[in-house]
Amino acid sequence: MLYYAAPIFLPLFGAVIAGLFGRVIGARAAQLVTCGAMGAAAVLSIVVFNEVVLQGEVGTVVLFDWFSSGDLDVDWLLRFDELTGVMVFVVCVVSFLIHVYSIGYMAHDPHVPRFFAYLSLFTFFMLALVSADNFLQMFFGWEGVGLVSYLLIGFWYRRPSANAAAIKAFVVNRVGDFGFALGILAIFLMFDTVSFDAVFAGAPGMVDAELTFLGHSFDFLEVACILLFVGAMGKSAQFLLHTWLPDAMEGPTPVSALIHAATMVTAGVFMVARLSPIFEYAPIALSVVTFFGATTAIFAATIAITQNDIKRVIAYSTCSQLGYMFFACGVSAYGAGIFHLTTHAFFKALLFLGAGAVIHAMSDEQDMRKMGGIWRMIPLTYVLMWVGNLALAGIFPFSGFFSKDIILESAFASHTGLGMYAFGLGILAAFLTAFYSWRLLFLTFHGKPRADERVMAHVHEAPAVMWVPLVGLAIGAIVIGYLMLPMVATDIDFWGTSILVLPIHNALEEAHHVDFWVKALPMAVGVLGIAGAFLFYVLKPELPGLLAARARPVYLFLLNKWYFDELYDILFVRSAKYLGRNLWKQGDGAVIDGIGPDGIAAATLSVARRAVKLQSGYVYHYAFAMLLGLAAIVTWYLIAGR
């Protein structure tokens, strides 16, 4: 079972070689070593998938102790169960394809070894996250992917905007981690352990346990789960903590594909699924998950329809799709959430890399208003983008159809108010998804060319090293949905013990028995969305402008992303700077130093200066002082001596 660990550590090996010795061995060797290690990891991940998920050979690989103190005992352990098996497979395969694609995409970059080192290092941290056997190890991977995401967003460090986006991503994620860390602390306080197995085993006994948090008594499991979910919201860019994801598009496109679509941002969903044995006993927390998931799904979709940057549209689409995954988990259909995570990894990576191919063809132009009319010139990219969008919009028989359908059906079948909220918004978001996907297709590929002639003359199909991985992802986007259907089947125990669903939370089971209209609706609105986009951007291209002018406030509200960036800037960034400056100048400078050392020094000096003046050197001054003293003493004796 030791070889299970190989796919986890191979990427680390590649990263270290390329990162530390990249200058010595050169770009080609760095690519070779990272892609080679990643390829081997991908092959092994399929072996692991077969062994763990299909054969049920679950187990753990013990590495070594991390730290211990009293009851706190943390080890480095790799956990291989069905959930990990699926994730390792998805991460390794998608990451490998993106590694290969990057050889072509980054060919002209002077920092190739560094780029590949980061990509591989990221993959390692992601694998460490999904194979963690305790909360802290998960946190290790969690922060690790955050770090590499920071490094990769800021990869082009000459750009101020890239640097700003990188810091924003890290700090917003830290806000989420604030919740995650508190959640871990609460878990340890009550369970006296951070190991998954022990916590999961103890969870049923903790129902009704109380935790005094910030002076109030709460239901312990609810509080812990909500705190942990705050971490998930940060990493998975959910409503309120989403602001970093669109900005993260400053990184090179393969990064957007790997980190900000296929893998890292799904860590939050994975976390909720992994912790299903405690979330299941926290119904309020599950409602919170459902609410934020559904809200994000529609919120991000509304923004996506107005954005003009091709990568930002896909970024908001990612945000929205993550919302789907969350509300699936919120209605206890964890299997459906992970199913959508899997299909999404393939088709979203395909879309991003396809967009990368377009950007590549258009001489690094990302604004769709300056594209158009290029579909005949890059037919292969065009077809691949169609495949990706069909999968995203959930059109049969593409993979997204299967996963999105089951999520919406589960939400409907949960028969709760929030479930219906999620279902309603999910359907609406499905319509918008199809709409903005085809808006993207039409704006990018159809209509009259809006780029200048120099750019148009350069439009060319991507080299083989780029399109071959795209084809691989496209095949995944087509077949993976059907192949992975057992994930949500009711007659097969696909997940084993890795996911717990209480019998009362049988939404996934019920989802197979909903009315036909519920099953048909997602695809119907998808087709409707495509038709809408066709009407708006092909038949009557003047319509969008008219609509935007008529409903200008709404348009601006959406275009400016609901003004979250501006709001947060005032609330947090400016106020922190204001406070910092004043505490420094006034607090430290005027008050503490003023009363403390400087004040005392000044007071001593001033007393001394006055004392000095007494010594005037005139005899009559001294004589007068003596007289005064004598008078005072005599007076004292006269009064006190009585």
Partner 1 sequence: MTDWPILSTVTFLPLVGVFFILLIRGEEKQVAANSRHLALWTSVVTFALSLVLVADFDTTTAEFQFVEFVPWLPEHNIAYHLGVDGISIFFLILTTFLIPICILASWEAIGTRVREFMIAFLVMETLIVGVFCSLDFVMFYIFFEGQLIPMFLIIGIWGGARRVYSAFKFFLYTLVGSVLFLLAILFMYLDAGTTDIPTLLVHEFAPAVQTWLWLALFASFAVKLPMWPFHTWLPDAHVEAPTAGSVILAGILLKMGGYGFLRFSLPMLPDASEFFVPFVYSLSVVAIIYTSLVALMQQDMKKLIAYSSVAHMGIVTIGIFTFTGQGIEGGIIQMLSHGIVSAALFLCVGVVYDRTHTREIADYGGLVHRMPIYAFVLMVFTLAAIGLPGTSGFVGEFMVLVGAFQSNTWVASLALTGVILGAAYMLWLYRRVIFGELTKENLKSITDLNWREVGIFAPLVSLALVLGLYPEPFLDVLHVSVENLIAQTRGAADLPVADVPERVPVPTLAALN
Name the residue nearer to partner 1 (CB basis): 23 or 458. Answer: 23
Name the residue nearer to partner 1 (CB basis): 211 or 468. Answer: 211
CA 494, 497, 503, 505 dihedral sign is negative
Query: Which one of the spans 461-469, 512-520, 549-557, 578-586 is the region binding partner 1 (CB under 8 A)?
Result: 578-586
Maximum CA extent, the chain: 120
Using rule CB under 8 A, residue 417 touches partner 1: no
Cα 307 to its chain centre, rounded Å, is 20
The site string for partner 1 over 586-625 (x = CB under 8 A, - otherwise) reads: -xx---xx--xx--xx------------------------
Using rule CB under 8 A, residue 67 touches partner 1: yes
Name the residue nearer to partner 1 (CB basis): 48 or 232. Answer: 232
Please state the closest distance from residue 172 (CB atom) to partner 1, in A.
9
Contacting partner 1 within 206-245 (CB under 8 A): 212-215
In whole angstroms, give the CA distance from residue 137 to residue 414: 33
Nearest to 187 by CA among 174, 172, 200, 175: 200
Please state the closest distance from residue 185 (CB atom) to partner 1, in A.
4
Judged by CB under 8 A, the residue of 140, 220, 281, 442 near partner 1 is 140
Residues 6 or more apart in contact with residue 455 via CB below 8 angstroms = 362, 363, 365, 370
Helix axes 543-550, 552-559, angle to 10 degrees: 100
R_g of the chain computed on alpha carbons:
31
Using rule CB under 8 A, residue 144 touches partner 1: yes
In whole angstroms, give the CA distance from residue 621 to residue 31: 93
Using rule CB under 8 A, residue 571 touches partner 1: no
Fill in the amino acid letter for 253: T
The site string for partner 1 over 156-185 (x = CB under 8 A, - otherwise) reads: -xx-x--x--xx--xx--xx-xx--xx--x
Query: Which one of the spans 419-427, 468-476, 557-565, 584-592 is the region binding partner 1 (CB under 8 A)?
Result: 584-592
In whole angstroms, give the CA distance from residue 115 to residue 120: 9
Name the residue nearer to partner 1 (CB basis): 158 or 448. Answer: 158
Tokens standing for 116?
């590949």
Q: What is the 3-state secondary structure (H, E, C) of 209-251?
A: CEEEECCEEEEHHHHHHHHHHHHHHHHCCCCCCCCHHHHHHHC
Residues 6 or more apart in contact with residue 52 via CB below 8 angstroms = 4, 58, 80, 81, 82, 84, 85
- What letter does residue 463 receive in the DSSP assignment? P
Please state the closest distance from residue 531 (CB atom) to partner 1, in A.
46
Please state the closest distance from residue 175 (CB atom) to partner 1, in A.
6
What angle (nearest 5°) sits at the alpha carbon of residue 525, between those of residues 524 and 531?
A: 95
Using rule CB under 8 A, residue 568 touches partner 1: no
Say if strands 210-213 and 216-219 run parallel, antiparallel, or are unpaired: antiparallel
Please state the closest distance from residue 280 (CB atom) to partner 1, in A.
24
Residues 6 or more apart in contact with residue 162 via CB below 8 angstroms = 153, 154, 155, 156, 250, 251
Judged by CB under 8 A, the residue of 6, 186, 232, 282 near partner 1 is 186
Residues 6 or more apart in contact with residue 573 via CB below 8 angstroms = none
Please state the closest distance from residue 580 (CB atom) to partner 1, in A.
4
Please state the closest distance from residue 15 (CB atom) to partner 1, in A.
13
Please state the closest distance from residue 325 (CB atom) to partner 1, in A.
25
Instruction: Give backbone dihedrals phi and psi of 195, rounded to 5 degrees, phi first.
Output: -80, 135
- What letter does residue 3 receive in the DSSP assignment? G
In whole angstroms, give the CA distance from residue 234 to residue 222: 19
Nearest to 17 by CA among 47, 37, 44: 37
Please state the closest distance from residue 65 (CB atom) to partner 1, in A.
5
Query: How many residues at the interface with partner 1, by CB under 8 A?
Result: 56
Q: Does the bond joining 397 to the residue before it have cis omega, within 30 degrees of 0?
A: yes
Please state the closest distance from residue 151 (CB atom) to partner 1, in A.
8
Query: Which one of the spans 6-14, 134-142, 411-419, 488-496 is the region binding partner 1 (CB under 8 A)?
Result: 134-142
Name the residue nearer to partner 1 (CB basis): 73 or 367. Answer: 73
Judged by CB under 8 A, the residue of 3, 54, 65, 556 near partner 1 is 65
Using rule CB under 8 A, residue 139 touches partner 1: yes
Using rule CB under 8 A, residue 579 touches partner 1: yes
Q: Are 209 and 190 in contact (CB under 8 A)?
A: yes
Contacting partner 1 within 478-517 (CB under 8 A): none
Please state the closest distance from residue 364 (CB atom) to partner 1, in A.
18
The site string for partner 1 over 72-91 (x = CB under 8 A, - otherwise) reads: x-------------------
Q: Are 188 and 182 in contact (CB under 8 A)?
A: no
What angle (nearest 5°) sits at the alpha carbon of residue 571, between those of residues 297 and 564?
A: 25
- Strands in 21-95 per DSSP E: 59-69, 72-80
Judged by CB under 8 A, the residue of 21, 66, 562, 568 near partner 1 is 66
Please state the closest distance from residue 196 (CB atom) to partner 1, in A.
17
Please state the closest distance from residue 294 (CB atom) to partner 1, in A.
27
Query: Which one of the spans 152-160, 256-264, 389-397, 627-635 is the region binding partner 1 (CB under 8 A)?
Result: 152-160
Query: Which one of the spans 35-43, 155-163, 402-410, 551-559 is the region binding partner 1 (CB under 8 A)?
Result: 155-163
Judged by CB under 8 A, the residue of 458, 577, 625, 627 near partner 1 is 577
The site string for partner 1 over 187-206 (x = CB under 8 A, - otherwise) reads: -xx-----------------
Using rule CB under 8 A, residue 110 touches partner 1: no
Name the residue nearer to partner 1 (CB basis): 255 or 314. Answer: 255
Please state the closest distance from residue 171 (CB atom) to partner 1, in A.
5
First to last CA, the chain: 104
In whole angstroms, give the CA distance from residue 485 to residue 332: 17
- Using the structure block, give the residue that is written with the tokens 């001596």: 641
User: Is residue 72 classed as helix, strand or coil in its secondary structure?
Assistant: strand
Residues 6 or more apart in contact with residue 207 via CB below 8 angstroms = 221, 281
Please state the closest distance from residue 311 (CB atom) to partner 1, in A.
21
- What letter does residue 50 receive in the DSSP assignment? I
Query: Which one of the spans 245-253, 470-478, 541-549, 583-591 is the region binding partner 1 (CB under 8 A)?
Result: 583-591
Name the residue nearer to partner 1 (CB basis): 192 or 461. Answer: 192
Helix axes 267-274, 334-361, angle to 10 degrees: 170
Contact positions vs partner 1 (CB under 8 A): 23, 64-72, 136, 139-140, 142-144, 147, 150, 154, 157-158, 160, 163, 166-167, 170-171, 174-175, 177-178, 181-182, 185-186, 188-189, 212-215, 576-577, 579-581, 583-584, 587-588, 592-593, 596-597, 600-601
